[in-house]
Amino acid sequence: MSQSTSTLTARLAVLVRPGRSRALAGFGLAAVLLLAVAPVLLSPFRLGLLGKFLCLAMVAVGIGLAWGRGGLLTLGQGVYFGLGAYLMAMHLKLADAGPGGVPDFMMLYGTGEVPGWWEPLRSPVVALALVVLVPAALAAVLGWAVFTRRVRGAYFAILSQALAAAFAILLIGQQQTTGGTNGLNGFRSFFGYDLADPVNQRMLYLVAAGVLLVMVVVARQLMTSRFGEVLVAVRDQEDRVRFLGYDPAAVKTAVYVVAAVMAAVGGALFVPIVGIISPADVGVVPSIGFLVGVAIGGRATLLGPVLGSIAVSWAQTTMSEQFPSGWIYLQGALFIVVVAFLPGGLASLVTTWRRRRPAREDEPGTPATPDAAAAPDAADLLPEGSRA
């Protein structure tokens, strides 16, 4: 009987593991910091910068899912970030031009007429819908085509990167309709709100913070769901999953679409906060830049990609202010060091530290039977987020 009681205790200990409450507490703390503390402490300029970092972190959340959990090394998220950003920017330009108006740059470089494929973006509702639907559709078609042909690993990475390069080149080549190298800029209002007004800038920051928090919740749900478990299974043993009756291409396409939508939403919010989107923000270099923060933070964890991305963006800004040319070398060196010596990212340090701590500390009152101790210990071997 005592045997079964102790197993029961072990199971209960797993159910009420501190992981759940700790995650809630962490989420609450992050929400307070982002939504209440930062707007008070930071100057409008710094708050705008943080807002920009949060938009980039949205891309990172998606990469964390697709790469960290799904094993898809997406070197071309700039495409989806750019699609979201350009669609939003086109709407803002049209809105600034007024009903039937022509955006300023088209008067300069173009025919002075709005091309037909721009017209639907005059409607704010259509614009918002397209920001999500266009990247989702592209990712679905592309993902399905690539994954059913079993393109994976480095080949997928190269393919996605080539896509980012092609996208940037396409944008540059179409100066009359996309603004070319200059990109789209000089937005005056955002859905009727004056972008020069600091109150509206703060509102935009709060929207970005809220959206990022929602994305983290979505990512956590996906990671802890059964889908998240199958995703890890596909990452580690794609063929084995196939023999269990799952189609890995469907699983991968699904996570690729989610990552694309997250990147696109990040791009769409980036535009009004930063005030410009250009090919330099969406090509190969920024696409790799998205990845660096994710790798440094810890790609398979829930918060690693977000924190890593924000930290790298912040470091980039600070370092660039001090040593304008030095940052790029530091970024490269940091990337190499992390990949070579800490493949799990900085988050793996936290896991190691937690595992070294005495297990008893977390559950006072739990009988120290081997059974009760064994289960939580073993669960700690798993990456963050895969625990229930």
Partner 1 sequence: MTTPEIDLAAADALLGDDTARFRHDYLEVRGLRVEFGGFVAVRDVDLTVTQGDLRFLIGPNGAGKTTLIDAVTGLVRAAAGSARFGGAELLGRATHRVARTGVGRTFQTASVFEELTVLQNLDIAAGARRGPATMLRRRRATPEAVEQAMETVGLAALRDVPAGVLAHGQKQWLEIGMLLVQDAHLLLLDEPVAGMTQAEREETGELLRRVGSQRVVVVVEHDMEFLRSYADSVTVMHQGRVLAEGTVAEVQRDPAVVEVYLGAPTGAAEPGTATMTEGRA
Question: 60 near 294, Cβ under 8 Å?
Answer: yes
> DSSP letter at 194?
E
Nearest to 212 by CA among 89, 131, 307, 106: 307
Taking CB under 8 A as the criterion, the residue among 184, 216, 232, 302 binding partner 1 is: 232
Instruction: Map the footprint of partner 1 across residues 168-227, applying CB under 8 A.
Output: 221-222, 224-227
Q: How far is the CB of 302 from partner 1 (least distance, A)?
A: 14
Query: Tokens 């202010």 appear where?
Result: 321
Q: Which stretch binds partner 1 (CB under 8 A): 27-35, 93-101, 325-333, 377-385?
A: 377-385
Residues 6+ positions from 326 with CB-CB distance below 8 Å: 319
Alpha helix segments (H runs only) across the chain: 2-15, 18-32, 38-41, 44-63, 77-97, 104-109, 124-148, 153-173, 175-178, 198-224, 226-236, 238-243, 248-274, 284-297, 304-322, 327-341, 347-356, 370-380
DSSP 120-179: GGGSHHHHHHHHHHHHHHHHHHHHHHHHHTT--HHHHHHHHHHHHHHHHHHHHH-HHHH-
Per CB under 8 A, does 243 bind partner 1? yes
Per CB under 8 A, does 247 bind partner 1? yes
Tokens of 372: 């009760």
Q: How far is the CB of 81 from partner 1 (least distance, A)?
A: 25
Per CB under 8 A, does 236 bind partner 1? yes
Per CB under 8 A, does 239 bind partner 1? yes
SS3 (DSSP) at 276: strand
Distance of CA 348 to the CA centre of its chain: 19
Q: How far is the CB of 62 from partner 1 (least distance, A)?
A: 17
Per CB under 8 A, does 113 bind partner 1? no
Rounded to 10°, the helix 284-297/153-173 angle is 140
Taking CB under 8 A as the criterion, the residue among 240, 354, 355, 360 binding partner 1 is: 240
User: Using CB under 8 A as the criterion, what x/- string covers residues 13-52 for binding partner 1?
Assistant: -x--------------------------------------
Taking CB under 8 A as the criterion, the residue among 99, 245, 358, 365 binding partner 1 is: 245
Q: Considering the complex, state which of residue 20 and residue 188 has its C-beta at the smaller distance from partner 1.
A: 20
Count the alpha carbons within 13 Å of 67 in the hemisphere toward its beta carbon: 30
Q: Considering the complex, state which of residue 333 and residue 388 has its C-beta at the smaller distance from partner 1.
A: 388
Three-state SS for 86-117 is HHHHHHHHHHHHCCCCCCHHHHHHCCCCCCHH
Per CB under 8 A, does 242 bind partner 1? yes
Instruction: Map the footprint of partner 1 across residues 128-157, applying CB under 8 A.
Output: none
Q: Considering the complex, state which of residue 178 and residue 386 has its C-beta at the smaller distance from partner 1.
A: 386
Distance of CA 188 to the CA centre of its chain: 27
Taking CB under 8 A as the criterion, the residue among 27, 144, 193, 246 binding partner 1 is: 246
Residues composing the chain: 388
Q: How far is the CB of 222 from partner 1 (least distance, A)?
A: 7
Give the H/E segment covering residue 190. Answer: strand 189-190
Per CB under 8 A, does 233 bind partner 1? yes
Q: How far is the CB of 69 from partner 1 (least distance, A)?
A: 11
Per CB under 8 A, does 62 bind partner 1? no
Q: How far is the CB of 270 from partner 1 (least distance, A)?
A: 28
Per CB under 8 A, does 7 bind partner 1? yes
Q: How far is the CB of 252 from partner 1 (least distance, A)?
A: 13
Binding residues for partner 1, total number by CB under 8 A: 34
Other Cβ atoms within 10 Å of 139 Cβ, number:
27
Per CB under 8 A, does 64 bind partner 1? no
Nearest to 306 by CA among 129, 68, 79: 68
Taking CB under 8 A as the criterion, the residue among 70, 71, 286, 383 binding partner 1 is: 383
Per CB under 8 A, does 372 bind partner 1? no
Q: How far is the CB of 257 from partner 1 (least distance, A)?
A: 13
The Cα 16–Cα 167 span in angstroms is 48
Q: Footprint of partner 1 on this chain (CB under 8 A)?
A: 7, 14, 221-222, 224-227, 229-230, 232-233, 236-237, 239-248, 371, 374-375, 378-379, 381-383, 386, 388
